[in-house]
Structure formats: C-alpha cells, structure tokens
Structure 1
Amino acid sequence: MNKYFKWLTFFTGLLLSSAIALADENLGAGDLVRILVYGNPDLTLETRIDASGYISYPLIGQVEIGGHTAKDAESKITTALRQGGFIKQPNVNVFLLESRSKLTSIIGKVNKPGRYPVTHKTTLLDMIAEAGGVAAGGSSLVTVISGSDKKTFDLSRLVNENSNQQIPLLNGGETVYVPTNEVVVGGEVNQPGKYSISDNIRSIADFIVSAGGTNANAADTILYTTSSGGAEVTKSIDIAALMSNNPQAGQNAMIVKPGDKIYVPKAPMVYIYGEVQRPGSYRIEKNMTLMQALAQGGGPSVRGTQRGIKVYRTDDKGSVSKITPALTEMVRPNDVLYVEESLF
C-alpha cells in the first residue's frame, strides 16, 4: 500500500505540474522549476532560480542550475544527494513550470503586444499568433532582433512557401517588431495621406502616383525620409528622374519601407511687381534667369523699362538688400523683382 501511494504521489505531481522537461534547453535566472525525487515527497520543491543561477535545495544547500539544461540539473542534484549520503540511489526529475529567462517581446502592430514565454523552440509565426496576429495597418515585413543581430522576414512569403524549415525559430530573448504598413505622402500632392505597401505599390514613384501626383505648386524635388541604423535620414530626389522610364536614372526603382515619409515641398517663388504686364507671384523653374522670370510676368509694360529693374533679396539672416543684378543672373527663391517706371 505504501509503495502504491508513493507511485501515485509521484505521477500525480507530474500531471499537476503542467511542466515541460527540457533535455536540450538551458535554464536561466527567474525560471520557476519543480524538483521531484521519487520516493521522497519531502524533497519536492518549487522554486525560482536566482539572479546568480542558484537555487537552495533541502539537505544539499546551494546548487547552480542556471545556464544548465534540466537534464544537467537533475544530474547535479542526484550527485549531491548521493555523495552527501542522504539517498543511495536518488531518482531526480526537474521540470520547468514558468520561463522568465526565455521571454520574447512582441511590439508594434500586433493585437496583443507584450512579453511571451518561450518554453520550447517556437516559430516566428506561432509567436505572432500568440500575440493575436498582425493588427490592422500592420506590415507583413517583421524584424527579429536578437542581441546585435537584426533580420527582416516577410510573413506573407513564409506562409506561401509553406515550408517549416524556412520559418525562423525563436529560442527566447528576441524582440519581434511589427511596423506599420503605411507610408505617409504629404505636401504638394493632390491627395495627401497614408498609403499601404502592397505587391503593386512599393516604390517612391508608386506612392506619388497613388497620392494623385504632384499639383501645380510642387517643387522639382521631393524629400524622402527613411530610417537607417536607428536614425532618420532625409534625401532630396529629383521628380523628373523619379518618374523617368530610363533605367539608368534608377530613382523610380527606390523601394520604400514601412513608416517612411514622402514629402513634396512647395516650389520656390519669385514675386514680380511694378511696371509689368502681369504682376504677381511665379514659380521658379530650374536654372531660371531674371530675364526669364520677367517674361513670366509678360515683360515690362509700356511705362516700364528693363534698365529700371531692382531686386529685393533676403539673405539667410533675414536681412533684405536692394540690388541691380544682370538679367542673366539666376533667380533665387523669394526674390522680389520690381520694374520701375521709365523716365522717358
């Protein structure tokens, strides 16, 4: 009867523990373990591994099991019990009840971001499913950070390939980041807003087109902001080259990443007043001269003269100076051209 009771106690402990015996995974600080010694219920212990990797076990005191597998921990406790003369042939089992040393953080556009225990080798797809899946607006491009190593995986390709061997495994300690799937397009476009990356919309040119193209006030360049090495980097890109079909231009093939920003600034303007046919503000075209700017305003009126053209120019400090430049000089942004009245 006593022997039956011991067996019953032993297997009942196994069933209640819901633990997983790990043969090839290391235990770590913060892990909750259960230790059972067959035939010795007084030696059953449920404890956490301390920050130094040790536990305090009855009869034998401090035992280092952090950094060792459950099988190694069983061997160390067995040896200590036998060499200490406490039990001649101890049968020790170590089970992991809760892993804190193997938590993987899931952040970004998932439905349940947080830290999740990895008690056995888990695929990236399984871990994202554990976090409730990718949320609305989330990208299929997922970044996995493990120490100094950073890799990006396309979830849609992992699913379509249907090959478990190519799906990355998580061992714990990683950070999984699911970014937004959207790219912001703003400035002088016809339909500014957020647009999602898809198989058909991946390049800068694609997003400019999706936003309805540039409007009449748009500059000749766009500002493209992306992240590189954890810092934002902004590049100025010529729109003509961007939309060119010439493969040598290369700009139209630039592929955006989730979270990137595309901004089309307003074109620089020149202001023409005085004795001109059509006074007003005009867009400065590339390499425009003062003569060309004056032509935009219809040229001098019958009372005006080209000899009486003055330019009010603002410098970087905000100071305004009045100059009489040659008509072949390039116009600068925010120049004010004033055509004086002819005296004769």
Structure 2
Amino acid sequence: MKVFSSPVRDFFMKTVVLATLSLGISLSAGCMSGASSVLSRHADFQQRKEVSKLNKEIALASGSLPQNQDEQMPERSGYRLAGGDVIDISVFQVDELSKKVRVASDGYIMLPLLGEIQVEGMTTRQLQDYLAKELGGKYLQDPHVSVFIAEFRSHQVSVLGAVNKPSIYKIRKPMTVLEMLSMAGGLTENSGTRVYVRRTVIVPGKKKKRRAESLILDLRELVKNPDPRINIVLHGGDTVHVPEAGVVFVEGAVKKPGSYQMKGEMTVLKAITMAGGSLYAAKEHGIQVFRETAQGQKVLEVDVDKVRERKGEDIVLQDGDIIVVKANALKKGLAGFFKGISGVFSIGHSI
C-alpha cells in the first residue's frame, strides 16, 4: 500500500475540501436562483391578474355609455365651460332673460342687464349661482335660474402610456377618466395601478388666471368608488398617462414633476435628482413619501438636506410611492397641495 507524504496529503485534502465547498455554493446559488425565478413569475402572474380585474371593472363602468358620441349626454357636474360650448339659460317667469348663448373663444358671453360675463372655467352650477346672485342683488327678487349645456364643443384629450390604444382622442361630450381608459382599449399587462392626469385649470374671476394641476389617481379606488371627485370629468387639453408598473411619482417643487421608472435601488434623493432637482422654493427638510400598505396609507418624511450632509438616512422607495416636495411659503412656490379624499392627490402650480 502506497502512502503519500505529508505535503502531498495536505494538498490533496485541501483540494477535496475546496471542491466540496464549491459544489455546495453552486447548489445553493442554483436553489436561490430557482426560488427567485419562481417568485418573479408569481409576481408577474399577480400583476397580470390585477390588471385583468381592473380592465373588467373599467369596461363595466363604461358599459352604459352610448357608442355614438353625437347621442345626447347627461350633464356632468365637474365639467367646466369653455369657448364653443352652447349654454341654455332659463330665468323662471322672465322670458326676456332666458336665452341660448354660445361661449366665445375668449370665454365670455353677453346677457341682457348683466352685459359681458366671463364663464370659461366655471361649472354650470357655479354659473347658475353667480347669475342668481347678480340678478337678485340688482333686478329681481329671489330669481330662480337654471343653466344647462345644450351643445358641447369638440376638444382633444390625450391618453398615453400603458394602454392598448394610446392616442389623442377628439371627443364631443364630457367624459370621465374611466370612460377615456375604456376608449383607449383598457390597460396593458404591464400597467401600474395609478393614473397621472395633467391639466390647466382656469380660475374663475375678472383676471383670467390659469393654474397647472397634476392629479394622481389610484385605479383601485377609481373602479370601486363612483365619487366624481375621483372619477373626474376631463377637459379639453387634459393628458391622461398610465405609467407601467415599477414607477414612483415625484411632485411639487421640482423642475420636472412626473412619474419615473425605478432602476435598481431607488431612494428619495435619487428620485428628486431624476426629476431635475429641487426648485429654489423647495422645503428639503420635510419631504414626504406617501406609500400604500396592507394596513392603509403610510406617510414617511425625509430630510434631504441632512442626507446630502450624511447626517440623516434616506428612504428606499417602493413601486407606486409618491414623493411630494413642498414649497416654502416665503418663497415663490406651489399654489397648493392637498389629499382631499382617499385615492386622489392633487398638486397645483400658479402659471
């Protein structure tokens, strides 16, 4: 029987140990990779299942709509008047003040006694209340005024992102977010669960002020809650964008507010940098992150000033997080930020 010398024996044993360890690590990595692949496929399946359910709900919500846009459409309380609309004004028992008028391209109408009135940006209810107040204060006792839209102007709404038929749609009646998503063929399989609406709102008043507004709507709330404050009526020029899954939203006092695809580990500071950085008016010590959890909504705060100085901790973001950078009241900034009801975020900017 041949006996190896001590150095040879030691080398042989080391080789055997290393080979065994290498095999163990390979098997472990293979198991981890397999588990990761299974989890990834399960997440993809759950994503497709949720989108399929949302598409069914969108179709149900829009199923009662007439297919022909020329058919008479009931008035929508959230619709705001614009140039080209024809409105029917009726003052009870005063035929001389009851008439049908078209809103001029500059947003004004002409009425007996009251003269020229800027109505662009008003809802019919707001105009109704305004006329009753003006007539009651000067000419009539407790006037009963009714305002209806006789004819809607044609306008364009863009539906973009993860929908089956992204396009600029020309519509001739007020339509809600769900109705426009249905018109765009519903959501694609890789769609996220939030909708991003950008619009310019005209503030009623003597001075024709405009305000840029961003709305982030939760599709899950949208399909189960008929509240018109969530399923909003769209205006001409509105853009509806459905981001793909795996995005975060950056809003408020940043240079390029919007939705951003998550690439690797995304933090608050990285997201703000992708949004072009903070504006001069930004309050970087109180940045908020709104996150949906199984227990409800959670609000986190980050002091980006301290993060930059390496004196504070940043937050690793999750899919669907909303980062809001508020503005210093002493500096030029936002017209307002609010979360009025569940499922809706609204950020307004004076322009």
Same fold (TM over 0.5): no
Compare CA radii of gyration and give the structure with the larger one. Answer: 1
Judging by fraction of residues, say which structure has more helix: 2
TM-score tier by shorter-chain length is 0.3 to 0.5
Judging by fraction of residues, say which structure has more strand: 1
TM-score normalised per structure 2: 0.34
Tell me: higher relative CO, structure 1 or 2? Use CA pairs within 8 A at least 6 residues apart: 2
TM-score normalised per structure 1: 0.35
